[in-house]
Amino acid sequence: MRDTPRPRATTGGTRPGPPQLRPGRAVAHNTGASGSGSPHRSDGCPPQTPRGARHTGPVGRSGTLPPVPGRPTTSRSRRSRVLWALVAPPALLLVLITWQVAAHGPLARADERIGGRLVRPGGVSQFLADLGGIPVAVPVLAAVLAVAALLARRAEAARWWLPSLVAALLMAAVPLLVVPLKELIDRPGPPVMAPETGFYPSGHSATAAVAYGGAVLVLWPWLRGAFARTAALLVCGALNAGTGFGLVRHGYHWPLDVLGAWCLCALPLTGLGVFLSARSPRVPTRAASSGGSRRPSPPGRPARRGRTWPCRRR
């Protein structure tokens, strides 16, 4: 049954009026935008949900259509938390070790007792200690930087030479980080190196940390798969640990000298990692390099990027 016009009394007489809706009946259409007078939305598209048109919230926030999402999460806060988690522990440990060594506190005295018992000079310890020398560590870093620059150039990356240049400058800045602390603290060395002073922090440990760590960071975007990246991290850790053990075992440094150098170099290496991750090139995958496996779209039909909702006009 359909509604029929009924006579309606007015001041000037009687004239037919619009049909009146009875209680309990379903409404055929929802009102659109405010003031539009159309049963559809202002853009001509009907609402996609039975709750009606979507009302957007203030600028920068999501709409109010249930479920109401919160503010869009950004990766900037997450990156800042990760950065603080990487920088804060070595920085605090460096301050503690430097204070104890400079004041010759309990930690420094225990370090000298333990380090004196570990001294056993030999050929293996000398070989491991030489891994942190400039004649060994710097050529390894130079070779890795050349390979990374060549890969970036073949991939046609913008400023392909910049990551290798930044890593090389960081390697050249190691004496600027180590020498002032050596001169300021002027710590005596183990009995094998007496009466020389200026052993904190260890220069060989700092050279090895920046050389091998910087090589892994520069080569990181070009390492495919978890196995290659894990192997690179293990090799870097083994070289640094072997260098530190060789220095202590041969009597070149105290254990805190090596640990302080690692904490000192962790700060610039973290900055290098953040810089490289911000501009890491996109390594082409196998599918992209082989031309891709996706089927081309039929002629005359645009490529389908996602699901679209048709707009029906009534």
Q: What does the pLDDT read at residue 291?
A: 46
Tens-digit pLDDT profile for residues 191-243: 888 788 899 999 999 999 999 999 999 999 999 889 999 999 999 999 999 99
Cα separation, 60 vs 78, in Å, equals 19
CA distances in angstroms from 262 to 4, 133, 213, 310, listed in the order given: 89, 15, 11, 61
Cα separation, 172 vs 159, in Å, equals 21
In a domain? residue 123: yes
Cα separation, 206 vs 180, in Å, equals 13
Write out the two tokens for 52: 């009606």
Mean of the pLDDT values across residues 261-273?
Answer: 94
Residue 311 has pLDDT above 70, yes or no: no
In this structure, is the dihedral angle defined by the CA atoms of residues 282, 286, 288 and 294, taken in order, positive or negative? negative
Number of compact structural domains in the chain: 1
In a domain? residue 222: yes
Residue 124 has pLDDT above 60, yes or no: yes
Let me know: does 246 contact 126? Beta carbons within 8 Å: yes
In a domain? residue 273: yes
- Residue 102 identity (one-letter amino acid): A
Cα separation, 260 vs 90, in Å, equals 9
In a domain? residue 78: no
Q: What does the pLDDT read at residue 307?
A: 45
Let me know: does 280 contact 217? Beta carbons within 8 Å: no
Can you tell me whether residue 280 is helix, strand or coil? coil
Q: What does the pLDDT read at residue 193?
A: 85
Q: Which of 103-112, 266-275, 277-286, 303-312 bottoms out in mean pLDDT, i.e. has the lowest?
A: 303-312
DSSP string for residues in 122-179: -HHHHHHHHTTSHHHHHHHHHHHHHHHHHHHHHTT-TTTTHHHHHHHHHHHTHHHHHH
* Residues whose CB is less than 8 angstroms from the CB of residue 63 and which lie 6 or more positions away in sequence, other chains included: 54, 55, 56, 57
Q: Which of 41-45, 81-85, 109-113, 266-270 bottoms out in mean pLDDT, i.e. has the lowest?
A: 41-45
Cα separation, 161 vs 155, in Å, equals 12
Q: What does the pLDDT read at residue 276?
A: 87
Domain hosting 165: range is 85-280
In a domain? residue 234: yes
Q: Which of 95-99, 272-276, 306-310 bottoms out in mean pLDDT, i.e. has the lowest?
A: 306-310
Q: Which of left, alpha, beta for 35 (phi over 0: left; psi -120 to 50: alpha)?
A: left
In a domain? residue 11: no
Residue 19 has pLDDT above 70, yes or no: no
pTM over 0.85: no
Write out the two tokens for 166: 């930044």
In a domain? residue 120: yes
Residue 274, phi then psi, degrees to nearest 5: -65, -40
What percent of the chain clears pLDDT 90, i.e. is strictly above it? 53
In a domain? residue 166: yes
